[in-house]
Copies of this chain bind each other. A is one copy, B any other.
């Protein structure tokens, strides 16, 4: 499978509502819905499993073993079983996991039952490319609008999604209950734009600017730094 060149991660646990099963050892808080610690990376892999399952579903597979699914997802079978185990028991011993059942279970665990509205800020080269990218919609997200400091330049790119001026951010976010923003503005204005987004009520930011954003703890930032990925790759080819 080649060397895995993933990532920076300040490891930490994330709390999640667990509906399925009580942990044996948990004494306190024995309600039906208690919060259990689940490794962050396990949550991440859940998305991968979800995607792999969808492919199997198209191929009309009814069940899948941890061995097969793990191979498709690029992990070891034991890890897949452990990851799923954090959320409950879904498999049948001797048989495997029901494909459709597992898809909807993961979807529920990830809290993505309905389409999430997303906005994109900064419709330059990269931003406008992302607006044309169809992969987001398939995974339950819809980019409903874009914003730019110079919307006219952006509109010249012939996009199907409306490009507004940045000054319209606040009313738009409030009116549409948007919680997630994709950030593609230049480094120089990134922090400033983020501050604005947060006052507007944005809770999650997918950041493409190569800069560490300073945000309050309740806001989640996910960095995608393209140059860094390439640089890291460069290191491993000696």
Q: Does A68 contact B (CB under 8 A)?
A: no
Give residues 170-204 of A contacting B (CB, 8 Å).
179-180, 182, 203-204
User: Which stretch in A8-16, A28-36, A160-168 binds the other chain?
Assistant: A8-16
On whether the beta carbons of B235 and A110 are closer than 8 Å, the reply is yes
**Which single member of B111, B203, B234 contacts A116 (CB below 8 Å)?**
B234
Query: Given A111-B235, A204-B234, does the pair A126, B136 have CB atoms closer than 8 Å?
Result: no
The A interface, classified by DSSP as helix, strand, loop or mixed, is: mixed
**A47 cross-chain contacts in B, Cβ below 8 A:** 228, 231-232, 235
C-alpha gap A214/B74 in the complex (Å): 9
Give the size category of A's interface with B.
Answer: 35 or more
On whether the beta carbons of B110 and A141 are closer than 8 Å, the reply is no
The 8 A CB mask of A198-214 against B (1 = contact, 0 = none) is 00000111100010111
Q: Does A149 contact B (CB under 8 A)?
A: no
Q: Does A138 contact B (CB under 8 A)?
A: yes
On whether the beta carbons of B220 and A237 are closer than 8 Å, the reply is yes
Rounded to whole Å, the gap between the CB of A212 and the closest CB of chain B is 4
On whether the beta carbons of A6 and B3 are closer than 8 Å, the reply is no
Query: Given A10-B75, A118-B230, A231-B112, does the pair A125, B132 have CB atoms closer than 8 Å?
Result: yes
Which A residues are within 8 Å of any B CB, using their own CB? 1-10, 12, 14, 40-41, 43-45, 47-48, 50-51, 72-75, 110-112, 116, 118, 125-126, 128-130, 132-133, 135-136, 138-141, 179-180, 182, 203-206, 210, 212-224, 226-238
14 contacts between A and B (CB under 8 A): A2-B217, A2-B219, A2-B221, A6-B223, A111-B238, A126-B133, A130-B226, A135-B227, A140-B234, A180-B230, A204-B233, A206-B230, A206-B233, A224-B229
